[in-house]
Amino acid sequence: MSNLKVVPFPGADVRDVAAQLRALADAVEKGEMGDAHNIAWVMDCGDSRLEFGMMGQSESFGANFVLLLNMALHRFMADLTSR
């Protein structure tokens, strides 16, 4: 079992993407996210436009991007089915 989890950030409106990203950055800087080696992201930009990417220390961004998103999907689905 992995350490993946959905993390809410109190104090910021969940509909305010920029505020949520700032809260995430603050949590990373405070060490609240462990060592935070990599982050994969997907953004719905409206009008059927998706942007996605990865940041971090990976030597193989493409492979790790796919791995992280698949791990997150499997964990998310397992959490949904366990309820």
First to last CA, the chain: 17
pLDDT tens-digit series, residues 43-52: 999 999 999 9
- Which domain does 49 fall in, by range? 17-81
pLDDT tens-digit series, residues 29-68: 999 999 999 999 999 999 999 999 999 999 999 999 999 9
- Residue 7 resides in a domain: no
- Residue 8 resides in a domain: no
User: What's the pTM value of the predicted model, to 2 decimals?
Assistant: 0.74
- Residue 12 resides in a domain: no
> How far, in Å, CA of 39 to CA of 41, rounded?
6
Domain count, the chain: 1
